[in-house]
Amino acid sequence: MSIVMSILQVLGFIVGLFVLYLLIVALVPGISVPRQRLGRAIASKGEEYKPPRSRRDVSFDVGGTSLSAWLYLPEDLSTPVPCIVMGNGFGGTKDMLLESYALRFQQAGLGVLAFDYRHFGESEGEPRQLVWIPYQLQDYAAAVACARGLERIDPAKIALWGTSASGGYVIEAAARDQTVACVVAQCPGLDGRAAALESYRKVGIKNGLRLIMHGQRDLVRSWLGLSPHKIPIVGRSGTIACMQIEGAYDGYARIASESYVNDVCARITIRGDKYRPVTKAKKVRCPVLLQICEHDELAPVSAAEKTAKRLGDLAEVRRYPIGHFDIYIGANFERSVGDQLEFLLKHL
């Protein structure tokens, strides 16, 4: 009995020390991270932007929170059309690249619903800039329900489109909703654990531990009802940011919108590794276009290959000899969106 009591006392002491550490990390003043504004590599157009005539504003609720979306419809509608539901990647908003894809789909006779996750862009939600994966999956499901309820949309022909982080979301969303017609997953993030290990390998254990501490600070502050602790989404090499991998900062700068906010609540740094859509692939029942960047710096190619294997005959794989951010620009964009249109028109 005395041995058991001694063990319990030691365990209690260790737990007490850890709780004290978390309180210190959460409450000590002066732990802030310098903001890193993206040096916009995309030059201003020099004139006021005018939305396309085919686009209109739509909103829908998720648990009492209003989400903002853009609906694109073909100009000449005689019958209800298929609809592609689009959400952006990590920290992205609907005004960041999505319209480039949406207009191509709309011109091909398809409808598109592109939305902002709660806490981001024009959607409601506090705190701002909170990436919480269960919420964003709920937002996808709510966007699909919204699309199915629209008058000019064929509810039996709903496709999901995702890129980077949301390329993983659409796999899980299709596993949950087996009435989805098809899925496009571009340079998809399918294994948070593998991505985290690869990131820590590249940035070093010291920077990895610093990120964990910042995530702990934000998470404990949320438990205590305190203001969030934020860090940059992407940062220069050697700085504190969710993504410090070489090329990430410049990659985001090339594609960021004018309104892009390069901040995120730090708690995602200790939660993202738990998210593994690759494990849900066997539950998907619709065709999936997997677009793999063979030199992807962020999303491990091995996870996409495992997902394709688990999807079996449902997977249509396209490979591109480029990096993660190259697929959004120029000829690589044209090739990618062309493959997507071929796939979507085939299955919708």
- Contacts of 303-310 with C-beta under 8 Å, sequence gap 24+, read 303/189, 303/190, 303/191, 303/194, 303/195, 303/278, 304/188, 304/190, 306/190, 306/191, 306/278, 306/281, 307/171, 307/188, 307/190, 307/277, 307/278, 307/281, 310/278, 310/281, 310/282
The total number of residues shown for the chain amounts to: 348
Q: In this structure, what are the phi and psi dihedrals at residue 24, rounded to the nearest 5 degrees?
A: -65, -45
Amino acid letter at 321?
P
Domain ranges of the chain: 55-193+275-347
Contact 262, 36 (CB under 8 A): yes
Look-up of token digits 């993206």: 38
pLDDT of residue 221: 95
Please identify every stretch of the chain with a pLDDT value under 70, giving residue numbers as ranges: 1, 39-48
pLDDT digits (tens, 9 = 90+) for 200-239: 788 788 888 899 999 999 999 999 999 999 999 999 888 8
- Rounded Cα distance, 298 and 309, in Å: 21
Q: In this structure, what are the phi and psi dihedrals at residue 270, rounded to the nearest 5 degrees?
A: -115, 10
Where does residue 342 rank: exposed (0-12), middle (13-18), buried (19+ CB within 10 A)? middle
pLDDT of residue 82: 97
Instruction: Name the CATH superfamily housing domain 55-193+275-347.
Output: Alpha/Beta hydrolase fold, catalytic domain (3.40.50.1820)
pLDDT of residue 39: 59
